[in-house]
Amino acid sequence: MSEIDTQSLVDQVSGARHVAVVGGGLAGLSAAVWLAEQGFDITLVEKRGRLGGRTFSFDVAGVGELVDNGQHLFAGCYDALLRYVDTIGTADQLRWDAPPFAIRTGPGRLLTTRGPRWLPALVRNTVGLAWMAWPPIPLRDRLPALRSWLRIGAAAWNPSPELDRMTVDRWFRELDVPHSLRRLSLDQLVIGLLNEKPDRVSAFTFAQALHFIGRRALAGNIRAGDAVWPRVSLHELFVAPAERYLRERGARIVTGTQLVDVELDAGPNGDRLTGLRLADGRRIDCDAAILTLPPWSLTTLLDRSALGSHEFFAPARKIESAPISSVYVWLDSPLRMVRLAENLRDTTIEWVFDTSGMHDGDHRDGYCYSLAVSASWEVVHLPGEAFVAAALESLRTHYPEARSATVLRTKVIHQPQATFSAHPGFESLRLDQTTPVRGLFLAGDWTRTELPSTMESAAESARRAVDAVRRYLT
Give the pLDDT score at 248.
Answer: 98
Q: Are 27 and 81 within 8 A, CB to CB? A: no
Q: Can you list the alpha helix ranges (DSSP code H) found in 19-77?
A: 26-37
Mean pLDDT across 117-132: 63
Residue type, 317: R
Q: Which residues, listed in sequence order, are joined to residue 21 by a DSSP beta bridge? A: 44, 290
More confident residue, 221 or 255: 255
Mean pLDDT score across all residues of the chain: 92
The pLDDT score that the predictor gives to residue 96 is: 94
Q: How does 398-410 read in b/e, with b if 16+ C-beta sit within 10 Å? A: bbeebeebeeeeb
State residue 5's pLDDT score: 34
Cα–Cα nearest to 437, from 274, 219, 320: 274
- Average the pLDDT over 404-424 and give the result: 97
Q: What is the dihedral of CA 197, 199, 200, 205, to 10 degrees?
A: 80
Mean pLDDT computed over 271-280:
95
| Nearest Cα to Cα of residue 273 among 283, 352, 156 | 283
Q: Which of 152-161, 216-225, 439-448 has the lowest mean pLDDT?
A: 216-225
Look at residue 127 in the predicted model and tell me its pLDDT: 58
Cα 24 to Cα 29, 31, 254, 360, 444, distances in angstroms: 6, 10, 9, 29, 11
Query: Which whole number is the average pLDDT over 338-356?
Result: 96
In degrees, rounded to 5, the angle at the alpha carbon of residue 415 between the alpha carbons of residues 412 and 419 is 145
Question: Does 132 have pLDDT greater than 70?
Answer: no
DSSP 24-36: -SHHHHHHHHHHH
Decide: 194 and 205 in contact? Cβ < 8 Å: yes
Q: What is the pLDDT of residue 99?
A: 86
- Cα 180 to Cα 145: distance, rounded to the nearest angstrom: 9
Whether 140 has a pLDDT exceeding 80, the answer reads yes
Whether the pLDDT of residue 122 is over 70: the answer is no
Pairing of strands 367-374, 320-331: antiparallel
Q: Which domains does the chain have, with CATH numbers?
A: 18-55+233-320+423-473 (3.50.50.60), 101-109+322-420 (3.90.660.10), 136-224 (1.10.405.10)
Maximum average pLDDT range among 113-122, 223-232, 408-417: 408-417
Residue 12 has pLDDT above 50, yes or no: no
Residue 1 banded pLDDT, cuts 50, 70, 90: very low
Cβ neighbours of residue 218 closer than 8 Å, sequence gap 6 or more: none
Tens digit of each residue's pLDDT (9 = 90 or more) over 161-186: 999 999 999 999 999 999 999 999 99
267-275 mean pLDDT: 85
Measured between alpha carbons, how far is residue 373 from residues 197, 285, 415 in Å? Answer: 11, 44, 11
Residue 98 makes CB contacts below 8 A (sequence gap 6+) with 113, 125, 128, 226, 227, 339
pLDDT at 269 over 90: no
**331 in helix, strand or coil?**
strand
Beta strands in 189-303 (DSSP E): 227-230, 252-255, 259-267, 270-278, 283-285, 288-291
* pLDDT at position 275: 95
Give the pLDDT of residue 116. 63
> 125 CB contacts (<8 Å, ≥6 apart)?
98, 99, 113, 115, 225, 226
Question: What angle, 0 to 180 degrees and rounded to 10, lies between the N-to-C axes of helices 455-473 and 26-37?
Answer: 40
Residues 355, 363: Cα–Cα separation, whole Å: 10
Overall average pLDDT of the 403-416 stretch: 97
- Is it the case that residue 82 has pLDDT exceeding 60? yes
Percentage of the chain beyond pLDDT 90 is 84
Q: What is the mean pLDDT of residues 297-314?
A: 94
Q: Which residue has the higher pLDDT, 267 or 429?
A: 429
Question: What pLDDT digit, counting tens, does each position of 46-59 carry?
Answer: 999 999 999 999 99
According to the model, what pLDDT value does residue 118 have?
64
Cα–Cα dist 397/418, whole Å: 27
Three-state SS at 242: helix
Q: Are 262 and 305 in contact (CB under 8 A)?
A: yes
With cut-offs at 50, 70 and 90, classify the pLDDT of residue 3: very low
Q: Give the tens place of pLDDT for each residue, 365-386.
A: 999 999 999 999 999 999 999 9
119 vs 165: which has the higher pLDDT: 165
Q: Which of 292, 266, 289, 265 is nearest to 276 (CA)?
A: 289
Write down the pLDDT at residue 117.
Answer: 63
pLDDT of res. 9: 43
Separation CA 69–CA 56 (nearest Å): 6
Mean pLDDT of 190-198: 96
Q: Is the confidence at residue 210, as pLDDT, over 80? A: yes
pLDDT of residue 183: 95
In the chain, the percentage of residues whose pLDDT exceeds 70 is: 92
